[in-house]
Amino acid sequence: MIYLDSAATTFQKPASVAAAMWDALATMSSPGRGGHSAAMRAADTAFQCRSELAELFHLDNPEQVVFTLNATHALNIAIKSLVPPGGRVVVSGYEHNAVTRPLEALGANVAVAVCPLFRPDAAEDAFQRLIKSGVSAVICSHVSNVFGFIQPLEAIAALCKSRGVPLIVDASQSAGVLPLDGKALGAAYIAMPGHKGLYGPQGTGVLLCGDGVQPRPLLEGGTGSLSIQQQMPDFLPDRLEAGTHNMPGIAGLLAGVRYVRQRGTKKILDRERQLIQQAADGLSRIPGLCVYAEPGMQNQTGVLSLTVKNQGAEELGTALAERNIAVRAGVHCSPLAHRSAGTLNTGTIRVSVSDFNTPGEISRLVSAVRRIRARK
């Protein structure tokens, strides 16, 4: 299979990830739940994973790294810690339902920083107009999961800092691909999946907590600490990690993080951009396709969307799946991004790559689309 759906989950992982997961199943129990060797081995692995994530994202303290089920879980903790029911929130025009649905559930008063695709200057202007005192939080998807559009995160973080408004970053598409400096950004929370650009397994996510935050747990339960007390501990990571940890997942995530650190995010980004540029060049020569690519790709990562004249996105996606090429068709759980880009009625076909894709695979994708379109 040619797998081009890495914006959902990276499918090809470093071999070390599966090996680490097997090792965890064979040798680890639960961290913080005993002094025997299986518990301590789990604790060592969890701590190592927190420490390496803290180093990758420039945080001083591994206790600020919280393991979650996925980015959605992490975002829910962050949003529900900062936004009261009916609170005022500013979001980018490219947010995922992982942000907009929790806000809807809270009845938040949401202002959208609307901007055209690949116009970070317009995004910054829009945030500049909307971030005011009294806003409970600004929430920004670093990179759009539909279009690969990179939001001007540093500028938005600076605006938040200067106006005293906490920032939540959805780094679902940027963690492991773009540099992300938690300390310099000063964000209250940065949420990310473990199973995309960090190459860990599904069922892993991470919430990076900024200095001085007071998060509200979504779950209460055992933490292996302060066991007699009936309130959740007030310290991290225990406050947000009730219940047994996903140790095979955390061990796999550690192996994935090590792969990213060894390769370097710049090399990974360069490779992904080259592949997406190749796809954009090839696909844009096919009549009837509208390809959403930025010339030069300065504000785009390894994600590319396209629409098709006289053919539904799902229809083309199915035809590619029949040829063993995996892309994603539809709205990608991000109606707000489609509304901003004007593609809500059609949806898009999304091509998203990882460090494991090759130029040959992109050539086969372009050839397959050309053949499918020639039959129309």
Partner 1 sequence: MEHYLILARSVTYAQRMQKVLNRAGVRCQIFRAPRDLSNLGCAYAVRIATVDLTAALTSLHAASLDPVQIFLYQRGLYQEVHP
Helix then strand count (H, E) for the chain reads 12, 13
Q: How far is CA 18 from CA 9, 14, 326, in A?
A: 15, 8, 22
* Strands 325-326 and 137-141, sheet pairing: unpaired
Q: How far is CA 38 from CA 23, 45, 185, 260, in A?
A: 11, 11, 37, 27
Helix residue ranges per DSSP H, the chain: 15-27, 37-56, 71-82, 97-106, 120-130, 153-163, 182-185, 247-263, 265-283, 313-322, 335-341, 359-374
Interacting residue with partner 1 among 107, 116, 132, 235 (CB under 8 A): 235
- Minimum CB separation of residue 234 from partner 1 in Å reads 10
**Among the candidate windows 7-15, 21-29, 235-243, 360-368, which touches partner 1 by CB under 8 A?**
235-243
224 binds partner 1 (CB under 8 A): yes
Closer residue to partner 1 in complex, CB, 44/104: 44
**Among the candidate windows 15-23, 40-48, 131-139, 201-209, which touches partner 1 by CB under 8 A?**
40-48
Please state the separation of Cα 222 from the chain's center in Å. 28
**Among the candidate windows 37-45, 159-167, 175-183, 283-291, which touches partner 1 by CB under 8 A?**
37-45
**Do the beta carbons of residue 39 and residue 31 sit within 8 Å?**
yes
**Do the beta carbons of residue 175 and residue 191 sit within 8 Å?**
no
Radius of gyration, alpha carbons of the chain: 21
Interacting residue with partner 1 among 63, 125, 181, 315 (CB under 8 A): 63
229 binds partner 1 (CB under 8 A): yes
| Peptide bond between residue 237 and the one before it cis (omega within 30 degrees of 0) | yes
Closer residue to partner 1 in complex, CB, 11/47: 47
Closer residue to partner 1 in complex, CB, 223/352: 223
- Minimum CB separation of residue 44 from partner 1 in Å reads 8
Closer residue to partner 1 in complex, CB, 224/330: 224
The footprint of partner 1 on this chain (CB under 8 A) covers a number of residues equal to 25
Phi, psi of 305 (to 5 degrees): -110, 155
Interacting residue with partner 1 among 76, 223, 300, 305 (CB under 8 A): 223
Interacting residue with partner 1 among 233, 248, 252, 302 (CB under 8 A): 233
Q: How far is CA 57 from CA 99, 115, 175, 324, in A?
A: 22, 28, 9, 36
Q: What's the residue count for the chain?
A: 376
Closer residue to partner 1 in complex, CB, 34/203: 34
**Among the candidate windows 38-46, 199-207, 268-276, 304-312, which touches partner 1 by CB under 8 A?**
38-46
227 binds partner 1 (CB under 8 A): yes
Closer residue to partner 1 in complex, CB, 48/202: 48
Angle of helix 71-82 versus helix 97-106 axis, rounded to 10: 30
Which residues make up the interface to partner 1 (CB under 8 A)? Answer: 31-32, 34-35, 40, 43-44, 46-47, 50-51, 61-63, 223-229, 233, 235, 237-238
